[in-house]
Amino acid sequence: MPRVQIPCFTAVLLVFTPALAAPAHPDISGIWTRGGAAETAFLPPPSGPGPVMNLLPTPPGAGAGGGLVINHWQGDYNAPILQPWAVEKVRAHTEADRAGLPMNSAQETCWPMGVPYILELNMHTQFMEDARQVTILYERHMQARVIPLNAAHRTNIKPSWFGDSVARWEGDTLVIDTVGIDTRTWVDVFATPHTDKLHVVERYRLLDANRMQGEVRVEDPGAFTTPWTGIVNYRRDREPYLEVACSENNINPVTHESMGTPIAQKPDF
């Protein structure tokens, strides 16, 4: 029986995969740092009202030879942004530092720092994002903010250490809007106070792959004469994010007394 040769065709299935869509905004995830402690107070904006500034800033290059550097935080209580009662709070902090008995900030007493004071931390800060929220982790005292994306502020907000925050992207800028911040927190390292009317808007954008700038706008008609803006600068850090606890060694650096950890003013239930 003669053989019949049947031609064999190999089918080639072409799978067309659509090109991956470019991300809608830059990726700011990762670990960032502010640098040395002397560099971490808010910087003034290019124009317009700015933050309380230091009357005794640390000289540039101090400590480069390995010597001990003590940072003095003496706020300018004549800053035009301050209401009269806020002037006295900042003045008291400055005069205490001049007397060698500086007031203990949230960093020394293990209290949550609040917003916008938390932005002045010079230790690691880690940004993480998914489709629902932005999470910001602060290495100092292991503080954290979990911020929903594209959401509205809750109703009947109960004041809290970090307030009620919501986030959104505006082009290449992450915008975080915060209200409802506990009045026991400071606005900055100079003990600048605020009222329950405090409203803070943070804006983060990449300057390049390894630099990020944050702009914080602070509005509180109860404490300030006008809204003002402060600038913070971050750089990427390749060092690991570490555990930094405070309450296990909560000691006044001046008097060496042990200080109690913060407790609630009243039970939650």
**117 three-state secondary structure:** helix
> Is 60 contained in some domain?
no
Asked if residue 239 lies in contact with residue 219, where contact means CB atoms within 8 angstroms, the answer is no
The residue with greater pLDDT, 185 or 63, is: 185
CA 179 – CA 252 distance, rounded (Å): 31
> Is 12 contained in some domain?
no
The residue with greater pLDDT, 260 or 131, is: 131
Strand order of the sheet with strand 133-138?
A: 143-148, 133-138, 125-129, 30-33, 228-236, 211-219, 199-208, 173-179, 164-170
> Is 69 contained in some domain?
no
The pLDDT-based confidence of 189 (bands split at 50, 70, 90) is very high
User: Residue 33: how many CB atoms within 10 A of its CB?
Assistant: 18
> Is 83 contained in some domain?
yes
How distant, in Å, are the alpha carbons of 11, 94, 182 from that of 18? 22, 61, 49
- Average pLDDT across the chain, whole number: 86
CATH of the domain at 166: 2.40.128.20
pTM assigned to the model: 0.83
> Look-up: residue for tokens 């629902």?
132
pLDDT tens digits, residue range 209-256? 999 999 999 999 999 999 999 999 999 998 887 777 776 566 666 666
> Is 184 contained in some domain?
yes
Percentage with pLDDT > 90 across the chain = 60
CA 49 – CA 255 distance, rounded (Å): 37
> Is 158 contained in some domain?
yes
Return the pLDDT at 14. 47
Return the pLDDT at 255. 66
pLDDT tens digits, residue range 30-84? 999 987 777 789 999 999 999 999 999 887 776 666 666 778 899 999 999 999 9
The pLDDT-based confidence of 117 (bands split at 50, 70, 90) is very high
Return the pLDDT at 121. 87
Full residue range of the structural domain in which residue 142 is found: 30-55+75-245
> Is 20 contained in some domain?
no
Return the pLDDT at 9. 44
Return the pLDDT at 68. 66
> Is 153 contained in some domain?
yes
Nearest to 192 by CA among 250, 100, 105: 105
Count the domains in the chain: 1
CA 265 – CA 250 distance, rounded (Å): 20
